[in-house]
Each structure stands twice: as C-alpha cells, then as structure tokens.
C-alpha cells in the first residue's frame, strides 16, 4: 500500500471548490503512481539488479532490458559449471584391471548413470542456497556431479527459457496500466499476477499482486515494499505541485465559462 503524508489541507480545501478537477486529479494521481509502481517493481525484480557506477563510487545503476536477461543467462552457465561435469555416456566400458591386478581377459560391462536427474540436483542445490542464504550455489561435495552432456544442455536451456518468470507476476498490472515490458518477460503470460482498479466517486484505488509461487524465497514482498516506498517519496514531493496546477486549471476554466 502506498500512503502519502503531506501538508495539503489548505490546497485540498481550495480544490474541493472544483469537484470535477478533484475527481480528475485523484484519478490521474492513482493511475500515474500505479504505473510508476509497476515500473519500479519490475526493475527491482530479478534478473534486474543494481551494479556500481564505475566512475562514481558509492552510486549504483539498474541493469535493465536485454542486459539483465544476458546477466541471468550467464549466471545459469556459471551455476552449471559449478555443479556439474558433463560426460559422454557410451553405454558400456572395458575393464582391464580388478583390485589393481590385470585381467587375463578384459571384460566389457554396461555403464550405469550415477546422476540421471540433472534438474532435480540443480533444484535441490538452489533450495539449499536459499535455505542457507548463500550468495552463490554450491555442490555440497568436493567432486562435481558427473552427468550426461545432453541432459545438462537441456536443463541449461530450460532454465534460460524461464528467465523473466518472476517479473512476469507484474505482467497483469502492466497490461492493465499500459506499462511496456520486455518480450522475455511477457512471453510467460500474465497468469501469475492480478490487478484490481476501483474508481467510484472520489475513491480511487489500484491493487496489484505478484503470485509467482517461489516469490517468497526470492523476497518478493520486500521488493514490492521498497518499490512502494519509492513511490511514496516521489508522490509526497510532487503532490503540492499537482494540486496547485489543478487549481490554476480549474480557475482558468471557470473564467472561460463565465
């Protein structure tokens, strides 16, 4: 919820003399701030992130658009390299020694895939990372998981296709409020979020939800709260100017009508 506290009583008293302007200002403010919230929330949701500005120590800039998508895909590649070692399974292998002693007749035996479910391993290590609040994923063992190369490549591709799914929880609100999102977010559809716009009389409200199932693990509520705080500060700063402008506009219209 966005709540703005500002010293507006004298201005609002003047504006109430012009009901039409008051309604218009309320509607425009709510719609503008709702759009601003969606933009801020999307740009605060992974894979969007902030990085230090090289020539301005202490300042950060948001990595946006295609660059954020590429950063997410690069992270997936790093995780794959950290967890797995791809191998080519031939289905059988030749044994020439047993317990360190050579065999008179070498044997051919079928090979067994030790780690057949690449996705399950990756998901488990990801959950472990969240549970331990680590910055990076880890194997949980010294040696990498040796897995079939085709399976690893498929798992990498599947994860890259999912980039943008968390941010797609804002898609329903973005579509309703005419906020343009990158195609790699909208490709996931708008079924993971909700938006309700209510405008009756002098009461205007917009309720926005992001219902991506794993949002809790990625601290989605904190992201939304920070975005709302940003909008509160911006709205509090510009509200007096908006109301003064509405009063001047109403006074001009009243003079023309007279």
pLDDT at position 32 = 83
Q: Report how far residue 173's alpha carbon sits from residue 192's, in angstroms, rounded to the nearest whole number.
A: 11
Q: What is the mean pLDDT of residues 14-21?
A: 72
pLDDT at position 3 = 45
Q: What is the mean pLDDT of residues 146-166?
A: 94
pLDDT at position 101 = 80
**Which tops the pLDDT comparison, 5 or 143?**
143
Task: Write 67-72 long-range contacts (CB < 8 A, 24+).
Answer: 69/163, 69/164, 69/182, 69/184, 71/47, 72/46, 72/47, 72/160, 72/163, 72/164
> What residue spans define the domains of the chain?
9-47+164-257, 67-161
The mean of the pLDDT values for the chain is 82
Number of C-beta neighbours around residue 212 at 10 A: 19
Q: What is the mean pLDDT of residues 114-130?
A: 91
pLDDT at position 134 = 85
Residue 164: band (very low, low, confident or very high) from pLDDT cuts 50, 70, 90: very high
Residues 6+ positions from 203 with CB-CB distance below 8 Å:
none
Q: What is the mean pLDDT of residues 239-255?
A: 79
Checking if the pLDDT of 99 tops 80, the result is no
Checking if the pLDDT of 103 tops 70, the result is yes
Instruction: Kindly report the pTM of this predicted structure.
Output: 0.75
Tens of pLDDT, residues 61-96: 777 788 999 999 999 999 999 999 998 877 676 777
**Which tops the pLDDT comparison, 127 or 108?**
127
Checking if the pLDDT of 110 tops 70, the result is no
- Pick from 108-112, 131-135, 141-145, 186-190: least confident: 108-112
Checking if the pLDDT of 13 tops 80, the result is no
Q: What is the mean pLDDT of residues 26-33?
A: 80
pLDDT at position 163 = 95
Cβ(185)–Cβ(39) below 8 Å: no
pLDDT at position 68 = 92
Tens of pLDDT, residues 208-223: 888 888 777 678 888 8
- Pick from 70-79, 102-111, 131-140, 178-187: least confident: 102-111
End-to-end CA gap in the chain = 41
Q: What share of the chain is helix, strand, coil (3-state, %, to 5)?
A: 50, 20, 30
pLDDT at position 5 = 47
Q: What is the mean pLDDT of residues 121-143?
A: 89
């Amino acid at each position: 919820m966005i709540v703005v506290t500002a010293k507006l009583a004298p201005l609002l008293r003047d504006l109430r003399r012009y009901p039409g302007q008051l309604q218009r200002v309320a509607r425009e403010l709510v719609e503008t701030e709702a759009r601003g919230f969606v933009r801020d929330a999307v740009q605060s949701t992974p894979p969007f992130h902030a990085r230090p500005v090289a020539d301005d120590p202490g300042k950060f800039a948001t990595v946006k658009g295609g660059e954020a998508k590429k950063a997410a895909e690069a992270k997936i590649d790093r995780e794959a390299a950290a967890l797995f070692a791809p191998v080519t399974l031939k289905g059988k292998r030749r044994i020439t020694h047993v317990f360190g002693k050579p065999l008179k007749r070498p044997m051919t035996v079928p090979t067994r895939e030790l780690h057949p479910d690449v996705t399950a391993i990756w998901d488990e290590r990801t959950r472990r990372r969240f549970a331990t609040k680590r910055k990076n994923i880890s194997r949980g063992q010294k040696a990498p998981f040796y897995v079939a190369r085709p399976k690893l490549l498929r798992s990498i591709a599947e994860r890259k296709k999912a980039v943008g799914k968390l941010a797609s929880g804002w898609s329903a609100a973005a579509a309703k409020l005419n906020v343009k999102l990158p195609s790699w977010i909208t490709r996931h559809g708008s079924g993971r979020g909700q938006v309700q716009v209510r405008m009756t009389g002098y009461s205007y409200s917009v309720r926005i939800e992001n219902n991506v199932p794993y949002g809790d693990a990625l601290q989605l509520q904190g992201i939304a709260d920070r975005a709302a705080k940003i909008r509160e500060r911006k709205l509090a700063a510009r509200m007096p100017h908006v109301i003064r402008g509405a009063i001047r506009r109403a006074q001009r219209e009243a003079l023309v009508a007279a």
